[in-house]
Amino acid sequence: MIKKILKIAVIAAIVGFAAIQFWRPDRTNASIDPKNTLEAHLEVPQNVSAILERSCNDCHSDKTVWPWYSNVAPMSWGVADHVHEGRKELNFSVWGTYKDRRKNHKLKEVCEQVEKREMPHNQYLWLHSEATLTDSDVKTLCDWSKELMKQFAAADPKNSAPKGEEPKERD
């Protein structure tokens, strides 16, 4: 009896696993307009671009390298979700389409997120240990973003929001 129930359970699990494979999330990379990339608008030194490439671009650019497990449901749903959410918040491939205020805010967030070790997500690091940031990577990113924010503020004082104030619109 128990054997039979087990057998049915195993078959149901296999059929279920096969069935969910039909729900395939969107895993496309939009084509990149070279005019709009981060590099086209800001100075990105080689050491900074190497860190972004290694630790951020999978979720914050249109240069995502989709891993093999992103082919397999249910992992595929989680991966695609992170990439879509990540791009929505910050996509270095469309940087040029952001307003100055948003750019400034995102630069501030880059430093904050890595200093707090919120980015890259722990889940991602389990499978991409090479993306782990060292203390010196964090410093490199923060020095870079702070310097650019200074330049932004110097170019237009409106860009430097008073301390503590967040932009009203979601950005």
Residues near ligand HEC (CB under 6 A) are 55-56, 58-60, 82, 85-86, 89-90, 106, 109-110, 113-114, 119-121, 124, 133
Task: State the Cα angle at 22 between 17 and 27, rounded to 5°.
Answer: 110
Which residues, 6 or more positions from 21, have their beta carbon under 8 angstroms from its beta carbon?
72, 73
When the beta carbons of 3 and 116 are compared against ligand HEC, the nearer one is: 116
**SS3 (DSSP) at 134:** coil
Q: C-beta of 18: minimal distance to ligand HEC in Å?
A: 27
Whole-angstrom distance, CA of residue 27 vs CA of residue 17: 20
Smallest distance from the beta carbon of 10 to ligand HEC, in angstroms? 33
Among positive and negative, which fits the CA dihedral 37, 42, 43, 48? Answer: negative
* Residue 90 C-beta: closest distance to ligand HEC, Å: 5
Closer to ligand HEC by Cβ: residue 121 or 158: 121
- Least distance CB 34 / ligand HEC (angstroms): 21
Measured from the CB atom, the residue of 16 and 164 that comes closer to ligand HEC is: 164
Min dist. Cβ of residue 127 to ligand HEC (A): 9
Q: Which is nearer to ligand HEC, 43 or 85 (CB)?
A: 85
**Which is nearer to ligand HEC, 17 or 143 (by Cβ)?**
143
Long-range contacts of 154-161 (CB under 8 A, 24+ apart): 156/100, 158/100, 158/101, 159/100, 159/101, 159/104, 160/104, 161/101, 161/104, 161/105
